Amino acid sequence: MSMTYASFIDAIEALSVTGITRTFQGPPSSLNTTDLPAMWVQQPDGEEEPLSFGAAGGWITLRADVLVAIEPVAQSIQEANFANQVTMLDNLASALRGADIGKAQHTWSIRGVTITVGGTTYWGAAARVTGRG
């Protein structure tokens, strides 16, 4: 049975990322400081080529962005929050290394970002996760 978008997103949301206070089921419309650092999945996409004799094709490829909001930019001390951002990149990468997402080994790219939720900009971390199967 092929992986579904729902099972792919569920597997990512089940990640145990050190330091995460709350995991949202989909993008939040707003955040409270008691939620931070908060994680969610958004922007899923994918492709699947037909598997036929003599042609390329096979497992579905799914991708989604994992976002972590760490601290509001306006309430932050830049040096401390940059250090927190780098720590969260390490924590997110560690969780992804140990995850079981899809039938084949998953891959990701990861970066520090700013994220705007409900009109507030946050220091953040983002990973583009790709799963196959």
CB neighbour list of residue 71: distance below 8 Å, 6 or more residues apart: 36, 37, 81, 84, 122, 123
Q: Which two tokens stand for residue 63?
A: 């991708």
Show Cβ contacts of residue 36 under 8 Å, excluding neighbours closer than 6 positions: 21, 22, 69, 70, 71, 122
pTM of the complete model: 0.89
Matching residue, tokens 């996409």? 45
Cβ contact 119:31 at 8 Å: no
Asked if the bond preceding 37 is cis, omega within 30° of 0, the reply is: yes
Write the pLDDT tens digit of every residue in 15-50: 999 999 999 999 999 999 999 999 999 999 898 776
Mean pLDDT of 80-85: 94
For 80, phi and psi rounded to 5 degrees? -65, -40
When pLDDT is averaged across residues 74-98 and rounded to a whole number, the result is 92
Q: Which pLDDT score, from 0 to 100, does residue 6 have? A: 92
Strand, helix or coil at 12?
A: helix
Q: Are 92 and 124 in contact (CB under 8 A)?
A: no
Task: Please say whether the beta carbons of 108 and 92 come within 8 A.
Answer: no
